[in-house]
Structures are given as structure tokens and as C-alpha cells.
Structure 1
Amino acid sequence: MDVVKRTRLSPEERRAQLIDLGVRMLAERSLEQISVEDIADQAGVSRGLLFHYFASKHDFHVAIVRHTSADMLARTAPNPELEPIEILRDAMASYVDYVSDNRDTYVSLLRGTASGDPDMREVFEATRAEMARRVIDQLPKLGIHPDARMELSVRGWLAFVEEATITWLRAPKITREELIELLVTALPAVALSASAAATLLGD
């Protein structure tokens, strides 16, 4: 990775630059292997300056994970112009494409040591909560009123999505299109009654 030429940046720009370098480095190594020294060298700044923007190495790592999660949510944002089932299919296609493009980062964060850290888990939980909210928000459009059972089922479905996608990344025995369809059809099968599932899938 090339060293970034040192330039005068605003505090916001410098902080964003450091996080971006960390995200790029995350594609090549695990989170715990990203050192303050390497980031400072890449940015062309002193190690002490990095700690001006982040309280600790851990704080910097959390910022990287927050950025990565925000990027994934942005890439999978629902398209309001589509029908509910097509919104879901489009979001799952974007999700599969995102994790395919960032497979090492994705697997490292969800299965690496970061997943056991309370601060990291808080970020992951917020990300999953937002993904669940997006799904649940579509249900009233189909005349389906979410309840506690349905909300719990959606969260269980998200765990299935993560596990199925990671397994597929490691050993893709079905096509991308087949994976997307599996993820889409699994949601109504898990969360909805037979009649509501048929309504959502258009059967």
C-alpha cells in the first residue's frame, strides 16, 4: 500500500482519511493486525497525531467498524420505488454483492476476535437492528401488522442470512442468484403465516 502524501487537512478530513486508510487495510489483514504505526505511516502523520483524533487503538478500530457497517447499510438501502418483495430481493442482491466484494473484511469482523468485543458487538447489534427495522417497516404495506413474534422471527432470519452468506462465500455450491432467492424466500417462511407468506411472494 502506498504512503499517502502529507497534506494539510481539516480535522474532519484528517479523521475521515485515517478511517478510510483503516478500512482499506482491513481488506488485507484482520482488525487486530491494524497497527497505529502503520496507519500513521500511510497517512504521513505522527503516531501522536492519530491519538489526537482517537482516544486509543481500540477507539480507532471501533471507528473502522462503524464506517464499514454504515457503508454496508448504505449499499443495501431499500429502493422505495419497488414493491415490498422486490425491495427485499434488491436489498439481498446488494447485500450478497457487498459481502462478495468485501469478503475478507466481512468474515473477519463477524467471525474474528472483534465479534467478542462489547463495543464491536454494539455496532453489529445496531446494524442488525436497522436491517430488521427496514424489513418490518415494509409489512404494513402488505396489510401485515408486525408483532413481537414477527420481530423476533425477523431477527432470527437475519442470523440465517449472515450464516448462509458466510458459508456460501467459503464454498459457493449454488449460484449467486440461487443464494439470493434462498435468502428472500426464507424470510416469509420463518416470519409469516402460510397465507401471509403467499401474499408476500405473490403465490
Structure 2
Amino acid sequence: MNNSQQRGTDRSVARRAELISIGRKLFADTSYDALSMDDIAKQAGVAKGLIYYYFKSKRGYYLAIIEDSVSELVARAGRHDDLPPVERVQRTIDGYLRYAEHHQAAYRTIISGGVGFDTEVHAVRDGVREAMIAAIAEGAYGRKEIPRLARTALLGWLCSVEGITLDWVGHQELTRDTVCELLVRTLGDTLRTIEDFEPSFPAPPRP
């Protein structure tokens, strides 16, 4: 690839990222069904054809926005590899809550599964869950590969995290620190239960 082609590719990547950033703001304030492609193009200040060029359809645009949001959420979960296990887990949960607090519309979409029963958004959500379980397992045990029972227990805890987080962002009556501490303690209980069933996977000591 010559320099001219590289510059063209860079501009294309930057333009696509800019459209996704605009879309995240639009869908944060307005539901999927309430926004037409004409509305999106008008509010984004671009020709409708440009959005079709990059994303093929409104749904393709929407899914690209969700995937971008997920990438940020997962990145927050894996950002603390250099910390001791307990602190790493705490920072992972705090990062998760910070993301949900500041990107409420995207978080609700990821967790609820998107528009109706959207199998692609469900697949994205399942990917988030797997990434979070891996981040917690690595923080607690120093490895991502864990027995099926441990994974099932962590998935159950994570589903409760999703419910608690949705309730929290919907009411904002508790501080983020309080919710984080609640989730850390319930995770500790889950890890100690895992240890009862799988002694070779001991829970980290209480902080």
C-alpha cells in the first residue's frame, strides 16, 4: 500500500469512528425505532448515503455502535493486570460500574439484548459476559481457564451484577462506591462457595 492509499484508509477509519461516536450520542437520547435514517443523517450533518456506505443499513449502524460500546466496556475490565488480585477485581467492578453510569443507554441495550429479540446483540452481550468472567477469574485465580462449576457460579453472580447495575443507574440512590462494595462482597461469597466445591481454586483472602 502506497502513502496515498494509506492516507485514504486512515481517513476512512477516522470517518467511520466519527459516525459511530455521533451515533452513540443519538441513540443515547432517542430509541432505535424513533430514529429514521433521514433523522440520523440530518442530526449527524452528513448525507444519508455516507451512512449506508459505511454500515449498509440502520441496523448495521446500530450494531456497530453497540460493538464499539462493548469494546470500551471490555477494555475497562482488562485494564488492571499489574495489580494484586483483590485490588484488580475491585478495579474491574468499579470500571464496569463507571461505564454503566456514563453510558446508560448503551449499557441498557447491551444487557437487555437490543431491539426486540436481536440474536446478534444477544451474541454481543454473551461476549461481554465471557470477557468479564475471564477478567474476574484471572484476577481471583491468576488464570482464565476454570472448571465448569466455577464458570457457572461466576455467570450467576454476573447476572445479578447486571440486575443490580440496571437498578442502580435507574435510580441513582446509592453511591457508586457503595454498589461496588456490595458487588465485591457478593463476589467474595461466590468465590468461597466455588472453593467449597473446587478446593483447588481457593478464594483470595478478604481485603
Using the size of structure 2 for normalisation, the TM-score is: 0.81
Distance 1:105 1:20 in 2: 12
* Residue of structure 1 equivalent to 2:160: 160
Letter in 1 for 2:42: D
Distance 1:175 1:43 in 2: 34
Return the offset for 1:78.
3.4
Q: Is the 8 A contact 1:73 1:127 kept in 2?
A: yes
Q: Is the 8 A contact 2:114 2:121 kept in 1?
A: no
For structure 1, which segment, 52-61 or 100-109, has the greater mean C-alpha deviation from structure 2 after superposition?
100-109
Q: Helix, strand or coil: the match of 1:81?
A: coil
* Residue of structure 1 equivalent to 2:3: none
> How many residues are aligned here?
195
Is there any run of 5+ residues in structure 1 with no aligned partner, and where? 1-7
Return the offset for 1:42.
3.4
Return the offset for 1:140.
3.4
* Residue of structure 1 equivalent to 2:5: none
Distance 1:106 1:67 in 2: 12
The runs of 4+ residues in structure 1 deviating greater than 6 Å are: 195-198
Q: Cα RMSD between the aligned structures? A: 2.8
Deviation digits for residues 145-177 of structure 1 (CA, Å, limit 9, x no counterpart): 821100111111111111011112223444322
* Residue of structure 2 equivalent to 1:3: none
* Residue of structure 2 equivalent to 1:200: 204
Return the offset for 1:199.
4.5
Distance 1:96 1:33 in 2: 28
| Identity within the alignment, % | 26
Return the offset for 1:64.
0.7
Show the 5 A alignment for 1:72-111: 72-111=73-112
Is there any run of 5+ residues in structure 2 with no aligned partner, and where? 1-7
Using the size of structure 1 for normalisation, the TM-score is: 0.82
Letter in 2 for 1:193: E
Measured at CA, do residues 139 and 91 of structure 1 come closer, stay the same or move farther in structure 2, by a change above 3 Å? closer
Distance 1:175 1:129 in 2: 27
Measured at CA, do residues 45 and 103 of structure 1 come closer, stay the same or move farther in structure 2, by a change above 3 Å? closer
Measured at CA, do residues 188 and 158 of structure 1 come closer, stay the same or move farther in structure 2, by a change above 3 Å? same
Q: Is the 8 A contact 1:21 1:39 kept in 2?
A: no
Measured at CA, do residues 11 and 176 of structure 1 come closer, stay the same or move farther in structure 2, by a change above 3 Å? closer
Measured at CA, do residues 84 and 115 of structure 1 come closer, stay the same or move farther in structure 2, by a change above 3 Å? farther
